[in-house]
C-alpha cells in the first residue's frame, strides 16, 4: 500500500464545496423491498427526530403509510421514484456555494446494472444541477472546511487517469480548493473515504486507525499530516477499528445531524461500535445507535442516505473578497 498522499490544488475558485458536517435541509432515505429494509426504516425514524426526511421509493402510498405510523409523521415527505438499489449517497448531489447561494453538482456515477439510480436525482431535483464530466462517487468525496476534499485513489482508476492533473476542472466545478488522494483499504468493498475519515466540525476530524492492519499506519500518518497541513489547528480523533468477518465494516460511516450522530451498529460481535460511541460522546455528541444490517456490503448509514441542501448552510464561511 503506498504511503504517499497526493495534494491536488485547483485555481482559486469562486465556488466552495459544502462540508459534510453542515446540517442538511433534509435527509433522503430509500424505502423498498431491499435486504436492508429494516435498517432503512430505523434510519428514517431516527433521523426524523432531528431533520426532515425524504422517503424515496416506487410505492408512494406505502411510503406515506410508513411515515404516518411513526412518532413524527409531519417530518416526512414522499417522493415516488423507481430505484435499483438503496445506495443513494454515491448518486446524490454535492452542494456548493456560489455567491452565497447553494447550487447542486451531480457526480457522474454510472453503472449499467443501476440505470434508474443514475437518473434518480437528475429527475427529482427541483433546483438547477450540473453534472461532472468525471465519474465520481459522492461517498468517495469526504468534504471538510475551507474547500478541502478527500478521495481514495479509486477516483483516478475510475476515470482512467494516471495523474491528478485530470481532476482540476472537476475540482473547480465542485468548489474544492485542495483535493487529497489517499490509498483505500484493500478489504473495504467500497474503497471510499467515507469509510476512512469524517469531519465533525471545522476544527475536529475523525480518522479510522486500523488495529488489525499494521500496514495501514504509514498511509494513515501521511493522511493525518496532510489534513493538519490543510487545516491548521484541527484536532484529529483516532477511531480504533478492526475488521470482523471477511471484510471491514467502518464505524465512521455514520450520519451526522448537527450535534447528533446516527452511529451504525453492525451487530454482534461488532468490536468497533462501543469504542466509537464512547469517543464521540466524550466530545459532546449525542450518539444514537442504529442497527445496520449491511455487514460485508461495504457501506453503512452514510452510504444508504443522501444529504439535501436547499440553502447555503451558515457553517460555510463567506467567500474571500
**pLDDT tens for each residue of 151-209:** 999 999 999 998 888 899 999 999 999 999 999 888 888 889 999 999 999 999 999 99
User: Residue 214 phi/psi, 5° resolution?
Assistant: -55, -30
| pLDDT band at residue 16 under the 50/70/90 scheme | very high
β pairing state of 235-241 and 129-135: unpaired
When pLDDT is averaged across residues 290-306 and rounded to a whole number, the result is 94
Separation of alpha carbons 177 and 305, rounded Å: 26
Q: Residues for the chain: how many in total?
A: 321
Separation of alpha carbons 301 and 249, rounded Å: 11
Question: What pLDDT is attached to residue 321?
Answer: 41
**pLDDT tens for each residue of 25-82:** 999 999 999 999 999 999 999 999 999 999 999 999 999 999 999 999 999 999 999 9
| Its pTM surpasses 0.75 | yes
β pairing state of 16-17 and 94-98: antiparallel
**pLDDT tens for each residue of 261-294:** 999 999 988 999 999 999 999 999 999 999 999 9
> What residue ranges define each of the domains in the chain, with the CATH number in brackets?
6-308 (3.75.10.10)
CA angle 96, 101, 102 (to 5 degrees): 40
| C-beta of residue 267 within 8 angstroms of C-beta of residue 296 | no
| pLDDT band at residue 7 under the 50/70/90 scheme | low
Any residues with CB less than 8 A from the CB of 1 and at least 6 apart, and which?
183, 186, 215, 216, 218, 219
**pLDDT tens for each residue of 221-256:** 999 999 999 999 999 999 999 998 888 999 999 999
Separation of alpha carbons 240 and 247, rounded Å: 16
Question: What pLDDT is attached to residue 67?
Answer: 98
Separation of alpha carbons 291 and 289, rounded Å: 7
Any residues with CB less than 8 A from the CB of 262 and at least 6 apart, and which?
43, 46, 47, 254, 255, 256, 288, 290, 301
- In 3D space, the residue among 203, 13, 194, 193 whose CA is nearest the CA of residue 97 turns out to be 13
Amino acid at each position: 500500500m503506498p504511503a504517499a498522499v497526493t495534494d491536488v490544488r485547483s485555481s482559486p475558485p469562486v465556488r466552495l464545496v459544502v462540508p459534510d458536517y453542515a446540517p442538511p435541509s433534509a435527509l433522503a432515505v430509500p424505502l423498498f423491498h431491499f435486504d436492508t429494509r429494516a435498517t432503512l426504516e430505523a434510519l428514517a425514524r431516527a433521523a426524523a427526530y432531528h431533520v426532515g426526511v425524504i422517503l424515496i421509493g416506487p410505492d408512494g402510498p406505502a411510503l406515506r403509510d410508513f411515515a404516518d405510523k411513526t412518532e413524527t409523521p409531519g417530518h416526512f415527505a414522499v417522493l415516488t421514484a423507481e430505484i435499483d438499489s438503496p445506495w443513494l449517497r454515491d448518486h446524490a448531489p454535492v452542494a456548493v456555494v456560489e455567491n452565497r447561494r447553494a447550487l447542486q453538482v451531480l457526480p457522474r456515477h454510472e453503472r449499467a446494472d443501476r440505470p434508474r439510480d443514475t437518473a434518480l436525482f437528475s429527475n427529482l431535483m427541483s433546483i438547477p444541477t450540473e453534472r461532472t464530466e468525471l465519474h465520481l462517487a459522492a461517498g468517495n468525496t469526504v468534504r471538510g472546511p475551507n474547500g478541502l476534499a478527500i478521495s481514495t485513489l479509486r477516483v483516478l482508476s475510475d476515470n482512467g487517469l494516471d495523474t491528478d492533473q485530470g481532476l482540476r476542472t472537476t475540482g473547480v466545478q465542485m468548489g474544492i480548493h485542495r483535493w487529497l488522494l489517499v490509498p483505500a483499504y484493500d478489504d473495504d468493498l467500497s474503497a471510499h473515504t467515507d469509510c476512512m475519515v469524517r469531519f465533525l466540525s471545522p476544527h475536529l476530524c475523525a480518522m479510522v486507525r486500523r488495529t488489525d492492519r499494521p500496514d495501514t499506519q504509514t498511509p494513515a500518518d501521511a493522511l493525518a499530516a496532510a489534513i493538519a497541513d490543510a487545516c491548521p489547528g484541527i484536532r484529529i480523533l483516532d477511531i480504533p477499528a478492526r475488521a470482523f468477518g471477511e471484510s471491514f465494516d467502518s464505524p465512521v460511516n455514520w450520519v451526522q445531524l448537527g450535534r447528533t450522530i446516527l452511529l451504525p451498529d453492525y451487530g454482534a460481535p461488532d468490536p468497533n461500535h462501543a469504542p466509537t460511541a464512547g469517543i464521540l460522546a466524550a466530545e459532546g455528541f449525542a450518539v444514537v445507535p442504529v442497527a445496520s444490517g449491511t455487514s460485508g456490503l461495504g457501506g453503512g448509514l452514510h452510504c444508504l442516505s443522501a444529504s439535501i441542501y436547499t440553502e447555503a448552510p451558515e457553517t460555510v464561511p463567506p467567500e474571500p473578497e
